[in-house]
């Protein structure tokens, strides 16, 4: 059973481990490596949508953390937010956990945060993520170049 929740300070080791997966650095604006102090500082001072327009949520499978959801660029007036997902350990991929996690996150964002538009950016070579988001109803709006890669910008209107 998949659960999602806001990351807490006690989760810093998981976030630290995942944020330092080099394969994730090319899909973020702030590539690592990250120190444990930086992760702890983020969780204690910046992990707040209302104050800092970004937040990390943990994905748990039977209480065991397996990944995270990244929320960013929250715009209250426009009722929009960016979303990303990472399930770094290959044993938890292609099992429907990302889809279930995103479905739960979308429902929370729509019901609790009154979000009307969710957007994401997915590199052209990440066909698994591209298919996942398209199957959830996201539409490709445009392609752009970012960090030397072709990136698809997708949007979901709720």
**Predicted local confidence at residue 5, as pLDDT:** 96
**Predicted local confidence at residue 85, as pLDDT:** 94
Q: What is the pTM of this model?
A: 0.87
pLDDT digit string, tens, across residues 96-120: 999 999 999 999 999 999 999 999 9
Residue extents of the structural domains in the chain = 2-157
**Predicted local confidence at residue 6, as pLDDT:** 94
| 38 or 101, which is more confident | 101
Checking 68-75 for CB contacts under 8 A at 24+ apart, the result is 68/7, 68/14, 68/15, 68/18, 69/4, 69/101, 69/102, 69/105, 71/105, 71/109, 73/119, 74/49, 74/113
Domain 2-157 homologous superfamily, CATH: Gcn5-related N-acetyltransferase (GNAT) (3.40.630.30)
């Amino acid at each position: 059973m998949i659960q999602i929740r806001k990351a807490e300070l006690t989760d810093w080791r998981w976030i630290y481990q995942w944020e330092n997966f080099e394969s994730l650095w090319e899909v973020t604006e702030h590539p690592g490596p990250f120190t444990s102090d930086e992760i702890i500082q983020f969780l204690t001072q910046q992990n707040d949508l209302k104050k800092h327009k970004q937040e990390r949520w943990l994905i748990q499978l039977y209480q065991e953390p397996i990944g995270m959801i990244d929320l960013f660029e929250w715009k209250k007036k426009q009722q929009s937010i960016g979303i990303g997902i990472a399930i770094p350990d290959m044993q938890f991929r292609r099992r429907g956990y990302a889809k279930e996690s995103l479905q739960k996150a979308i429902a929370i964002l729509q019901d609790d945060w009154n979000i009307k538009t969710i957007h994401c950016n997915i590199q052209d070579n990440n066909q698994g993520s591209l298919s996942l988001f398209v199957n959830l109803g996201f539409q490709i709006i445009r392609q752009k170049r970012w960090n030397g890669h072709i990136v698809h910008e997708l949007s979901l209107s709720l």
